[in-house]
Structure 1
Amino acid sequence: MGCAKRFPFILFFIAFSILPKTTFYGQSNDEERSGSWVVLYGDNKIHEKWSIPTVGILRHHEIFEKYEFAFIRTGISYKLSKSSTLTTGIAYLSSRNYTGSEEFRNATQFWVYEEYALKTKLFSHRFRLETRWKKNADDLHINNRLRYRFQYITPIYKNVHLRTFNEYFVNLEKPLFNQNRFYVGLGQTITPSIKVDIGYLKNHFQKSDHDVVRMSLIFKTDFTKKDVAQHN
């Protein structure tokens, strides 16, 4: 009964996230493409209030083919309360020309970011400010952007859960719109510290849409625990 009561909200959230952007972009996309993301996310507790987040992403222009970029991110998080966290850190991205065209060139990015996250039992909000240094063979460009992600996770059967989120990206310069990501998928809790997810990600840009199969492994480690081996 609990799951049934939540389905109307889930359907409303999906419709709210997809329909406005489909209407806006559907007739003007310069490029439709699909691909895959493999995501590794870890939270490593080093103190009662401090932890180190680690994120790695490997992205392909086609599913497991035509490598597009690799991304790593880390930092330091401080737990303000049971439900809220502050994080600051750095990230690095390396992209490769997958088309063979001179129009697209290999590039690197270095980021500094600050983040505030608020979580409840089912919902979470994430606000992030990013400063990105984007470098290719010709020039260096600095971009500042804001991101807001609303996420909903609910159990649907035993250790299986539904995860859906929508994230808006806004530049602090023109053009204001950067991109939007909508995701819906299923996940499973393998152990209390390991989860896996797989689902569909729709990535909207100014002139293109990307359809993505997103697979993720989420893990937690706790370096504050001291396990003492006992021998009989």
Structure 2
Amino acid sequence: MKLASYFFRLCFLALSFYTLVGFTQEAPKDQVGTWTQLVGTHQIANNWSIPTVGILRQYNYAESVEFGFLRVGANYKLNSNTYIGAGVAFLDHHPFEKVNSLEQKGQFWLYQEMGWKHSKKFAQRFRLEHRWKHSGTTHTFGPRLRHRLQFTQAVDASTYVKVSNEHFLELNEFKIMQNRFFIGLGKKITPNLCLELGYLKNHVGKENYDRLRFSLYFKTKLYKDKQNKVAQQEEKATSQ
């Protein structure tokens, strides 16, 4: 049986497990929730691209939204293995402890990051975030440094396993306040479209949350390559 069949069977089993857990657990923060993200890379020049990320986290059998997030920026490729980037992000968060309340917490970020690949399997990313947070009438500022180490292993030409771990260092208190561990399976649908499904364990302070993460990655090209254009013109000229 092809690996693609195993992949989609895994998706079905994960959804079934999530449905069962959603009915059997009561406390919202203890439920296995979903983490759905749409990640785009939009190429605007040979070395420039615009990353876009949208995230929706849910619980209570995917009926209640806990967290909404949007990020956009600009990345510059220094070489084939290294890039730098900067951008902005917005998020809204509904606290677990006040399920029936309309109170929401929000944040606005400015960030800078740098990422590089050590090989086809290992990659790292550092990100510095300047976060303005508000909750009701309270406004605070909290800078944070993040580091992610990621391992990717190809299973076949279109299927791969991904494992990553990311630490969050709060610079105001200079201590690690959050950690995200992910393990999952990815499937390349086309060269520019990829689907991932996996398990995310998110530690925040003394709390920890279990999430099934669904990710759709896509790429677009918003410019014409000058070299290809010249080659096409030369080919057209020689054929006349």
TM-score norm. by structure 2 comes to 0.77
CA deviations 1:71-113 (Å, max 9, x no partner) are 0000111111110000000000012245545899311110000
Partner of 1:22: none
* CA distance in structure 2 between the partners assigned to 1:179 and 1:115 by the alignment: 18
Higher RCO (C-alpha 8 Å, min separation 6) = 1
> What corresponds to 1:57 in structure 2?
55
Residue 128 of structure 1 contacts residue 147 of structure 1 at CA under 8 Å; is this kept in 2? yes
* Structure possessing the higher radius of gyration over alpha carbons: 2
Match of 1:112 among 110, 113, 126: 110
- Following TM superposition, by how much is the alpha carbon of 1:33 offset from its aligned partner in structure 2, in angstroms? 4.0
Q: Which amino acid aligns with 2:192?
A: S
Runs of 4+ in 1 over 2 A off after TM superposition: 31-34, 96-105, 225-228
Question: Residue 68 of structure 2: which of 42, 67, 70 is its match?
Answer: 70
What is the alpha-carbon distance in structure 2 between the residues aligned to residue 184 and residue 63 of structure 1? Answer: 22
Q: Is the 8 A contact 1:32 1:208 kept in 2?
A: no
Distance 1:104 1:129, change over 3 A: farther
Counterpart position of 1:89: 87
Residue of structure 2 in register with 1:195 after alignment:
194
- Within 5 Å, give how 1:1-232 maps onto structure 2: 32-97=30-95, 99-100=97-98, 105-119=103-117, 120-174=119-173, 176-225=175-224
- Structure 1 residues 106 and 169: CA distance shift in structure 2, 3 A: same
Name whichever structure is richer in helix by fraction: 2
- Checking the alignment, whether the CA contact within 8 Å between 1:109 and 1:132 is kept in structure 2 is yes
What's the secondary structure of 2:32's corresponding residue? strand
- Which one-letter code corresponds to 1:43 in the other structure? T
Residue in 1 aligned with 2:23? none
Q: Give identity over the alignment, percent.
A: 39
Q: 1:97 to 1:148 in 2, by over 3 A?
A: closer
Mapped to 2, the partners of 1:148 and 1:33 lie a distance apart of 27
For the 8 Å contact 1:97–1:104, the answer to whether it is kept is no
Look up the equivalent residue of 2:160 and give its one-letter code: H
Paired residue secondary structure (1:64): coil
Which whole-Å CA distance do the structure 1 matches of 2:31 and 2:39 have between them?
25
Residue 158 (structure 1) shift: 3.5
Question: C-alpha separation between the residues in 1 aligned to 2:182 and 2:40?
Answer: 19
Count matched residues. Answer: 198
Corresponding residue SS for 2:73? strand
Q: Is the 8 A contact 1:153 1:161 kept in 2?
A: yes
> What TM-score, normalized by structure 1, do the two folds share?
0.80
